[in-house]
Amino acid sequence: MVNPGSCRSDSSGASNSSGDSSKDSSRCSTPVLDADRSDRLRDKMRRRMESGDRWFSLEFFPPRTESAAVNLISRFDRMGSGGPLFIDITWHPAGDPGSDKETSSMMIASTAVNYCGLESILHLTCCNQTKEKITSHLAKAKRLGLKNIMALRGDPIGETWEEEEEGFNFAVDLVKHIRSEFDDYFDICVAGYPTGHPEAESYEKDLRHLKEKVDAGAGFVVTQLFFQAESFLKFLEDCRAIGITCPILPGIFPIQGYQSLRHLVKLSKLEVPQEITQVIEPIKDNDAAIRNYGIQQTVKMCRELLDSGKVPGLHFYTLNREVATIEVLRQLGLWIEDPRRPLPWAVSAHPKRKVEDVRPIFWASRPKSYIYRTQDWDEFPNGRWGNSSSPAFGELNDYYLFYLKSKSSKEDLLQMWGEELMNEESVFDVFTCYITAQPNRNGHKIMCLPWNDEPLAPETNLLKDELEKVNRRGVLTINSQPNINGKPSTDPIVGWGPPGGYVFQKAYMEFFTSSENVTALLKVLKKYEPRVNYHIVNVHGRNLTNAPHLQPNAVTWGIFPGREIVQPTVVDPVSFMYWKDEAFGLWIEQWGKLYEDESPSRMIIKYIHDNYFLVNLVDNDFPLENCLWQVIDDMFKLLDAPPEECALYF
């Protein structure tokens, strides 16, 4: 199928565009504690086929603008929650696809793997590219952690195909080259055409070309779109008859609009069946009606495919949209948002990080930033976090990178955080409205903060009432977790890891607050030692802690059948000092810079940045009731007490 920015080609020299995808489901793309983390995509397919567990995958194309790239990464996170086996990113020769631009195919695919934790297939075409350039693209893909390639010839730049000197003219040659230069590192996917490629001499010859690609080293096939189940089933039968035994996935296109359908049909040189055109022509100006029809038509066709018993998975051409595809998957029962996480934090799918299972808790709401700042590490912690052996974190000066930016526009952020701030209490109100999910004074709901670009997690909702109280008084929380003592690992709110286990947590709070509050807090904390560990620091590096010998403190752990104890999050005093630079920097970079220099609003944010402290507190007695709320309450009581009583308060 031909999509914007997508190129798929036949080994006969015929060309076509389409997208395939290689993304593993949130349940399968990320490491699972009791699974082999060196899994390849083909192995995951094989296991799903053997178990009879059907899957789906999704195709996306590179956007044209930086803002669209930000939106696409957000869409990856949302659509990844439904459990696709993989995604694929198309290759658009006109968009500098192998570059480091945020809109390039290479960068979008790399971001999906490294920062969204999605198993991804990168399309690669050989048209108008030398062998040397293709090898360079493949080497870069490997370096970025990409493990899967969709090998295509691609569409000609002009009207006719021109052979590339020192290049390849057929997809089969590209497959052979990948195997020759990179051995078995990449899993390779190729394109198939249920009705034959439009430029092939015949349907039969096209099938033989497909077999050549598979015999050369391709591990599975994704087909061009089609409109009738029998088209694919006949194609599948014909492929099996000539000895193509690898998985063949049907390419599914939910009709979403009249013009997009016409455009795609023209590019892919397909013919829409009359029974479909008869329905959509009378409603061609009603996008909602066409989309609803497309959903039902797609659901019917997919059910026929799945009911045949010959189709293990479905590959969806999304056109970078989500509503229609998600609705189809819901109706088919394939969209499964599993609340249970392999680990309590978002996992990168980069093969280099496959052993990683311990992180500092500070980046819990900013996993992409954590991955960015640790991308140059040669080794990742496994089993425990040791500050003495931990390499330094990279600097975070590149807040502007598209995968680190807020998905909300400047206009939306100003509506949420205030077109104009009057005082520090205006900032307190923003935090409080975020915690309570109540509209601000101008009627806008606050859906994110600089330290968390998402609505509150269900786990945080367990603390909502207490968090509201402390935020109203200037204890501005950016991270917290309740104490948990032996909840089942399948618990929908706090559970993680494989079933049959039990999870534990120490109560944790992290917040910004004024120097006056910190002075009182330090007095209060003396009566809670050694139960409560604290670490308090300001932007200038004033550093106060009672952490013994700066050792890490495990704050989340799990016990599972047949395994040692797993401790995936820690409070580490050393890495906290790296985190504090980022945490303070977000005040200016993502909030303060919304306002003009020297404006009152900018100065309020700068005052908080310059004068507040960042505090983390851990209640080590997790079986007991969380004492951190009492700590904060005692701090307020001390602040509210008359001066003559303060010295006697404790």
Question: Which residues have a catalytic role annotated?
Answer: 59
Backbone angles phi, psi at 252, to 5 degrees: -110, 130
Q: Locate 169 and state its tokens.
A: 């003219």
Q: Pick the closest to residue 461 from 436, 478, 479, 489 (CA basis).
A: 436
Residue 281 CA, chain-centre distance (Å), reads 38
Take residue 403 and report the two structure tokens written for it. Answer: 């995968």
H or E element in which residue 176 lies? helix 171-182
Length of the chain: 650
Are the CB atoms for 88 and 23 separated by under 8 Å?
yes
Say how far apart CA 594 and CA 568 lie, in whole Å.
36
Q: Who contacts 167 (Cβ-Cβ below 8 Å, separation ≥6)? A: 126, 128, 129, 130, 131, 134
Closest CA to 614 of 524, 551, 542: 542
**Which residues on adjacent β-strands are paired with residue 558?**
503, 566
Strand partners, 15: 9
Helix %, strand %, coil % for the chain, to 5?
40, 15, 45
d(CA 395, CA 402) in angstroms, rounded, equals 17
Describe the crossing of helices 628-640 and 464-472 by its angle, rounded to 10 degrees.
20
**177 in Cβ contact with 164 (< 8 Å):** no
| Cα separations in angstroms, 438 against 430, 431, 450, 472, 590 | 10, 11, 18, 13, 22
Tokens 């509201």 sit on residue: 468
Spell out the SS3 assignment of 344-366: CCCCCCCHHHCCCCCEEHHHCCC
